[in-house]
Structure 1
Amino acid sequence: MAILSQLAHLSLANRTHGKGTQINFYTDTQCTAYHGEVAAWWNRMPLVAVEPTQTGCITLNMPGDSLSINTASMWAYSTETQPAEAAGYCVLYDGFECNGQSITVLSHYHLTGPGCQPSRSFGGYLWKSAKCYII
């Protein structure tokens, strides 16, 4: 069953035109039991950007029973239908408007590892918003 959930996860980070990043939520602590997602875009709000100051604030709306979160994928700006995956960061905040406690997460394409983070901040609040940028 674990293999099936991993295969499902891999198919869930599909890029649609203009998508810059995708953040996934999970009901386990290892980022393997997919529970939902949110995205940022190159061509519409909320924006992902190259300059951190130009990124839009992403409202996560993470389900309350989520236990982990990761940046599932990031894609470089491109007019091509299959742009290259890119490296980048997402800053997670426990406030609704990209404020409050925060943690910076490096985009990581593996199911487990440094990209998988607990769904709650050090203060015990769910991460509520994020800003993502490509490096």
Structure 2
Amino acid sequence: MRLKGTWQQNVLPILRLPLACLFAKGDDVTFIRPAFQHDQPCGANKHLHLLSQAKREIVALKMAIKQAGFQLSEIVRAEVILSPDVDEYQLGELCELLESLPGEVEVHYEETGLLARDIPLASTQLIAIEAMLIH
């Protein structure tokens, strides 16, 4: 039993979320991804739009976790998926916002190509925030 706990606590969070799903054991691991509210960019300043989207989604994620009956301290990993058109200079402030999430946070750009997930392209820079909880 100790080995299972060690695996879940130390190895599982290292894996990317879709791969971690393959190794998740029943009720020990939960993935939460709040319903994302796509809206129109404010045109003039896409940077501020990304930050406001991120703030809204972090609040929605925290609320979804609490509504599901879990604690924020149970987050071991969060995955943030950005649109490919997000510039690197925008990542600094975004990472500061993401520091409010406990555990490891991975930020990456939406993949394009044959194996990309089927997420419709939207007029948004933030595609999703998903959390993995171990309890």
| TM-score normalised by L of structure 1 | 0.31
| TM-score normalised by L of structure 2 | 0.31
The structure with more helix, counted as a fraction of residues: 2
Q: Relative contact order (C-alpha < 8 Å, sep 6+): which is higher?
A: 2
The structure with more strand, counted as a fraction of residues: 1
